[in-house]
Amino acid sequence: MAEEKGITPQSEDFSRWYIDTISRADLMDYSPVRGCIVFKPDGYELWERIQDGLDSRFKATGHRNAYFPMLIPESFFQKEKEHVEGFNPELPWVTEAGGEKLEERLAIRPTSETIIGHMYSQWVQSYRDLPVLLNQWANVFRWEKRTMPFLRTSEFLWQEGHTAHADEQEAREETERMLEVYRDFVETEMAVPLWKGQKTPKERFAGAVDTYSIEAMMKDGKALQAGTSHYMGQNFAKAFEIMFLDKDNQRKYVYTTSWGASTRLIGALVMVHGDDKGLALPPRMAPVQVVMIPVGPPKLREKVLEKFNPTFDALKAAGVRVKADFRDETPGWKFNEWEMRGVPLRLELGPRDVDSNQCVLARRDTGEKVTVSLDGIVETITNLLNEIQANMFAKAKAFREANSHYEIDTLDALKAHIEKCDAANETYGWVLAGWCGDDACEAQVKEETKFTSRNIPFEPPMTKHKCLTCGGEAKHTVWFGRAY
Amino acid sequence: MAEEKGITPQSEDFSRWYIDTISRADLMDYSPVRGCIVFKPDGYELWERIQDGLDSRFKATGHRNAYFPMLIPESFFQKEKEHVEGFNPELPWVTEAGGEKLEERLAIRPTSETIIGHMYSQWVQSYRDLPVLLNQWANVFRWEKRTMPFLRTSEFLWQEGHTAHADEQEAREETERMLEVYRDFVETEMAVPLWKGQKTPKERFAGAVDTYSIEAMMKDGKALQAGTSHYMGQNFAKAFEIMFLDKDNQRKYVYTTSWGASTRLIGALVMVHGDDKGLALPPRMAPVQVVMIPVGPPKLREKVLEKFNPTFDALKAAGVRVKADFRDETPGWKFNEWEMRGVPLRLELGPRDVDSNQCVLARRDTGEKVTVSLDGIVETITNLLNEIQANMFAKAKAFREANSHYEIDTLDALKAHIEKCDAANETYGWVLAGWCGDDACEAQVKEETKFTSRNIPFEPPMTKHKCLTCGGEAKHTVWFGRAY
């Protein structure tokens, strides 16, 4: 049982609020291994829900799972120049095994394009072998200097899809399809609103032709990249000689894609919905959707159970994830505990409720309490859970909108905005601004404000015409923000 | 599409038959990383079914999943003496990461008792925190000199349960409960008959007080350890100081258990049921339970589809895993292909079948073909799948019985048995024999016959009174056999 410790208010120190919340809600623990965390059962269960939701969508779009070796020979990384430059600084190396020094160092995978590219070169011979549509659930390592639980850890869990196609158009469609799969999952299930868009060249995946992302705004106004989908063109096909004999009897390189989402989604879930009471989970993600708490004096407990137990059974039979808390603690203590753990709905039932055939429902998202009849309680609760899900998405969207700035069109204006926010202890939020397409202009924004380009949204809320930095003609309208 | 290559007959060379079968059935591929294989989609899907079947049983017995770091500091291994001696020779070591040499080497986990023991020492304070009932799905490494796909690879996938208890009895009950969970899954779902029993001290897990196993007989008469459950006593509790304040206000060490099953179960499935045609999958494990193949001249295809499609839809709606093969190949080619891939039941439907409202069902397990009415086809097939499942289990059990030897009571008799089998090109099978309990007697059996003790079955088919080796009084009745 978690001891009663305070949670730092978000407005005081958001990072501390985050650590307090995930620790008290028992989602994780630190480990003795640098930068690695332990996913405790309540945290891992969120990952299991993410896995279920994504895996079923991957399969519905024709993908199958496979598993490739975690250790990758050093020579494989050398084959794609940008890829090795991007990942080399973060790799852990196995140099000894089975009591012997290895002839060639083996990297622990930071991502699997290289080993999978090699295997695809063996498997793909003819156009009949295409497309190859595989996904892998795996652990990966990136030796990070600064870590933050779930968001950035040396080891994390993820899925990585890797596909190979006969032509560019099909590969580009796949890249967009999987970005849409991520959007659908994260918005529908996690109630986290997103901007889908394209990354700028500087922010591309190492080795990709184009990288697309979904970007979410956390409650401190910072951005979190929640999933990426990459169009690789023929870069990896050429590096690993993935070729096929086409219908026209020509040998051609395939076009590949890759796409990934990771345990950092757990962090997004916490930072988008949580508040000063702790976690707040949308019903579709919550391991426990309804917690039932008997109230009233212990001597009347038996009377309460007459209605309590059938209600529990009916909810369970209807597929609601319900938990009954009979622990020997005060109702008030339990209320706080389950609010802190983010359970969307609390059902209180006492002796007087039994007499009047009703119960009290308390919503985590609004704090509202309503008294409802026990007749039709399953339908009442099912509807309410749907309403909570929709409301949490709407709230997150409203927050994002309130923290999106559309009138900041110069670097000076952005700096003034930052100063103003600092003075008022307000979040910076994001800025929609024009960009001329020049790497230097983008780099200058980062250097002077620590704002980075998030993505170039497919459907920007408005179009910008001048570059934030140089004032020249804007080629793109871009979301800028501080990011995790 | 797999090219038409022969499968080596089992009687000619069982190992080659195995490699031919898993390669042609597309379950795996070799990788460029020493001792590591790629789990291809058809192989990985078997693992997904194993995961589902075990995971639901773990949860039904009160366990939850968690995830612990894969890299383990060298000093952790040093804490439990037998454990480090057992695993040290097989460890891969990370010595560099993020561009720097590490101060302390990190081992890639071969199993996680040490890191989990450390975490439990942080989490367990009071008897109220017990029991801790966690499981982890993970990849592990054991740098093997001789490897065989699925059965013994440098990297493999598994689950490892780790529990901590307040007293010995509860921990021992847990150890047996999980052994029974394995037995239930492997016998019920995989149709693989098992002997549950205790390992001899020599064959114990490094660091365990008692190790229990389920042992299966492959079609070459060799044994495969299909799952193990370990009672650790207080060994790891003392090494990692996992202590709790008990109800009597005394600080005590916990009692721990661990239990694991791995992707080698895929190998067991193949080697127990497969035959010279290739794979044979029991219906409960088969990704495709029924393959439907339209037959007859192409010009009558439309007529066939009138009955074919509704039958497909009805089976699908009933939850049968059904696949329709419309590929442009001959029916004969398709029959061979799906038999090789182990699909339990084939449904053939041609134009004349439409006229007579019937279809042909061909069983993979017996080769029988029957003509049945399309009326009630879902029930017919559901019943038949159950019958196939039961028959495959019965067949495997009969094979095991036919290859179990009860009359070999001396080492000389065992050597004569081996010679006789060699001369007749017959499998050795297993031998049930007495053992005095002396390590030296057990070692002598291994040295002179390469037979090892499999386990001391909980319910031996008969009791032996004399030690196989020394002729002294037998303390235990033991299964001996060659093993993977």
The answer to whether the Cβ–Cβ distance between B73 and A32 falls below 8 Å is: yes
What end-to-end distance do the CA atoms of chain A give, in Å?
A: 31
Identify the CA nearest to A160 among candidates A209, A118, A111.
A111
CB-based burial, A337-369: b 16+ in 10 Å, e otherwise: bbbbbbbbbbbbbbbebbeeebbbbbbbbeeee
User: B70: which DSSP letter?
Assistant: S
pLDDT tens readout for residues A393-431: 999 999 999 999 999 999 999 999 999 999 999 999 999
Question: Which domains are assigned to chain B?
Answer: 14-273 (3.30.930.10), 290-387 (3.40.50.800), 404-481 (3.30.110.30)
Parallel, antiparallel or unpaired: strands A155-165 and A132-141 = antiparallel
The answer to whether the Cβ–Cβ distance between B106 and A68 falls below 8 Å is: no
Q: Which residue has the tokens 């067991």?
A: B268
pLDDT tens readout for residues B437-453: 999 999 999 999 999 99
pLDDT, average across residues A39-59: 98
ipTM of the predicted structure?
Answer: 0.96
Note the pLDDT of residue B80: 87
The answer to whether the Cβ–Cβ distance between B71 and A33 falls below 8 Å is: yes
Rounded Cα distance between B68 and A43, Å, is 12
Q: CA A363, A385, A278: angle at the middle one, nearest 5?
A: 45
Q: 3-class DSSP state for residue A367? A: coil
Mutation for A interface: B93, B245, B263, most A CBs within 10 A: B93
Range B330-334 contact pairs with CB under 8 angstroms and sequence separation of 24 or more = B331/B293, B331/B295, B334/B291, B334/B293
- Contact (Cβ atoms closer than 8 angstroms) between residue B161 and residue B258: yes
Maximum C-alpha span of chain B:
84
Note the pLDDT of residue B5: 62
Note the pLDDT of residue B81: 87
Rounded Cα distance between B130 and A150, Å, is 27
Note the pLDDT of residue B117: 97
Whether residue A4 is predicted with pLDDT greater than 60 in this model: the reply is no
pLDDT, average across residues A93-113: 96
The answer to whether the Cβ–Cβ distance between B123 and A29 falls below 8 Å is: yes
Residue A35: closest C-alpha in chain B: B69
The number of C-beta contacts closer than 8 angstroms across A and B is 153
The answer to whether the Cβ–Cβ distance between B93 and A96 falls below 8 Å is: yes
Note the pLDDT of residue A5: 62
**B-chain residues near A143 (CB < 8 A):** 97-98
- Contact (Cβ atoms closer than 8 angstroms) between residue A214 and residue A194: yes
- Rounded to a whole number of angstroms, the distance from the CA of B129 to the nearest CA of chain A is 8
Q: Which of B70, B95, B119 sits opposite A96 (nearest CB)?
A: B95
The answer to whether the Cβ–Cβ distance between B143 and A68 falls below 8 Å is: no
What end-to-end distance do the CA atoms of chain B give, in Å?
A: 31
pLDDT tens readout for residues B67-88: 999 999 999 988 988 888 999 9
Rounded Cα distance between B116 and B133, Å, is 12
The answer to whether the Cβ–Cβ distance between B36 and A122 falls below 8 Å is: no
- Rounded to a whole number of angstroms, the distance from the CA of B26 to the nearest CA of chain A is 11
Rounded mean pLDDT of chain A? Answer: 96
Rounded Cα distance between B469 and B441, Å, is 5
Parallel, antiparallel or unpaired: strands B404-405 and B430-435 = parallel
Q: What is the residue-level pLDDT of chain B in tens, covering all 484 positions?
A: 344 568 999 999 999 999 999 999 999 999 999 999 999 999 999 999 999 999 999 999 999 999 999 999 999 988 988 888 999 999 999 999 999 999 999 999 999 999 999 999 999 999 999 999 999 999 999 998 899 999 999 999 999 999 999 999 999 999 999 999 999 999 999 999 999 999 999 999 999 999 999 999 999 999 999 999 999 999 999 999 999 999 999 999 999 999 999 999 999 999 999 999 999 999 999 999 999 999 999 999 999 999 999 999 999 999 999 999 999 999 999 999 999 999 999 999 999 999 999 999 999 999 999 999 999 999 999 999 999 999 999 999 999 999 999 999 999 999 999 999 999 999 999 999 999 999 999 999 999 999 999 999 999 999 999 999 999 999 999 999 999 9
pLDDT tens readout for residues B18-55: 999 999 999 999 999 999 999 999 999 999 999 999 99
- Rounded to a whole number of angstroms, the distance from the CA of A214 to the nearest CA of chain B is 26
- Rounded to a whole number of angstroms, the distance from the CA of B40 to the nearest CA of chain A is 5
Residue A55: closest C-alpha in chain B: B48
Note the pLDDT of residue A1: 38
The answer to whether the Cβ–Cβ distance between B90 and A98 falls below 8 Å is: yes
pLDDT tens readout for residues A285-296: 999 999 999 999
Residue B45, both tokens = 């899907």
**B-chain residues near A145 (CB < 8 A):** 98
Whether residue A271 is predicted with pLDDT greater than 60 in this model: the reply is yes
pLDDT, average across residues A46-50: 98
Note the pLDDT of residue A3: 46
Note the pLDDT of residue B435: 98
Percent above pLDDT 70 for chain A: 99
The answer to whether the Cβ–Cβ distance between B33 and A1 falls below 8 Å is: no
Residue B144, both tokens = 């093997």
Note the pLDDT of residue B1: 38
pLDDT tens readout for residues B208-235: 999 999 999 999 999 999 999 999 999 9
- Rounded to a whole number of angstroms, the distance from the CA of B167 to the nearest CA of chain A is 21
The answer to whether the Cβ–Cβ distance between A38 and B71 falls below 8 Å is: no
Query: Could you tell me the pLDDT band of residue A2, with boundaries at 50, 70 and 90?
Result: very low
- Contact (Cβ atoms closer than 8 angstroms) between residue A340 and residue A25: yes
Identify the CA nearest to B258 among candidates B289, B231, B238.
B231
The answer to whether the Cβ–Cβ distance between B69 and A39 falls below 8 Å is: no
User: B474: which DSSP letter?
Assistant: -
Rounded Cα distance between B280 and A424, Å, is 70
**A-chain residues near B106 (CB < 8 A):** 33, 92
- Contact (Cβ atoms closer than 8 angstroms) between residue A140 and residue A109: yes
Question: Which pTM was predicted?
Answer: 0.96
Q: Which of A97, A119, A157 sits opposite B67 (nearest CB)?
A: A157
Q: Which of B65, B70, B157 sits opposite A67 (nearest CB)?
A: B157
